[in-house]
Structure 1
Amino acid sequence: MDEIIDSSGEKAPTPFAQTYFHGTKVALKIGDHIKAGFSSNYGKRKNAKYIFLSATLDAAIWGAELSSGEGSGRIYLVEPTGEIENDPDLTDKKFPGNPTQSYRSIHPFKVVGEVTIWQGHSVEKVTAMKEALKKLNEMGIQSLND
């Protein structure tokens, strides 16, 4: 994190770390850690080597809406505990840059809060996205994260 210098030239306290979003259907508590190694929501659904976060609420909403499991989607504010890198499914390998600001890591994310009020995508948009993902799977196009 960059240092903040106050008007007297002294280093100012920085109480906030960069926070990211993580969308899921899993119920978590503040202080919990999200870890890799569980069944993936995408691709071949094998044990995930990576976990994912985003700097945009919209990408987290998609994560909450498309994740497997029962119940409503949830969106958590998370802080990475280690290095993060661009998610290759949503960056230069498929799209220029990183428009969704989506990242992955092998290191846990600490849950520091929850977004309890958010507007999901329309049923039609979610259905269309699920169909598109299903078609990719049928074509043999898998996640680059598998």
Structure 2
Amino acid sequence: MEQNQNKPETGGQGATPFAQTYFHGTKADLKIGDLIEVGFNSNYGPRKNAKYIFLSATLDAAIWGAELAFGNGRERIYLVEPIGAIENDPDLTDKKFPGNPTQSYRSTQPFKVIGEVTIWQGHPLAQVQVMKEHLERLKEQGINSLND
């Protein structure tokens, strides 16, 4: 059998996968190495101590997170690494959006900030305003989950 002479040598290591990148959108001013943890006031909803923290595998969902977060701080997108298990965010999956198209997840375990996305394009202001109005209508109807 003839060997393929164009095949590069791998040194026996084979392919190594990249780790999944996750994003967290917020207005909090964090530094690399900081931990995002439960127990602080939520960025959204009733502003009570959060039982869960949230992250996404899509930049778009993280941009929404930053744009819709409470506060007057600068909108920021952090690259985060979950320290423990993550699970689908039920507010954005199941019957509402089958298959988790936003790739949004939650956890009770911390996320470590490993970087920041400094260049990104936000949604048009009119679109953000429509989303904020929609969320306000849900709040008026008593629908304010964030996974109580």
Normalized against structure 2, the TM-score is what?
0.88
| Structural mapping, 1:1-146, within 5 Å | 10-12=12-14, 14=16, 16-146=18-148
Decide which moves more: 102-111 or 32-41.
32-41
Which residue type is aligned with residue 30 of structure 1? I
Which residue type is aligned with residue 66 of structure 1? L
Q: For residues 76 and 9 of structure 1, do their structure 2 counterparts lie closer, same or farther at Cα, with a shift above 3 Å needed? A: same
Structure 1 residue ranges without an equivalent (≥5) = 1-5
**For the residues of structure 2 that align with 1:120 and 1:50, how far apart are their CA atoms?**
25
Aligned length: 141
**For the residues of structure 2 that align with 1:84 and 1:126, how far apart are their CA atoms?**
27
Q: Aligned with 1:134: secondary structure? A: helix
Residue 78 of structure 1 and its aligned partner are, at CA, apart by: 0.4
In the TM superposition, what whole-angstrom CA distance separates every residue of 1:40-81 from its partner, at most 9, and x where no partner exists?
122322110000000000000000000011122000000000
Q: What's the % identity of the aligned pairs?
A: 74
**For the residues of structure 2 that align with 1:102 and 1:81, how far apart are their CA atoms?**
16
**For the residues of structure 1 that align with 2:100 and 2:76, how far apart are their CA atoms?**
23
Q: For residues 7 and 94 of structure 1, do their structure 2 counterparts lie closer, same or farther at Cα, with a shift above 3 Å needed? A: farther
Structure 2 residue ranges without an equivalent (≥5) = 1-7
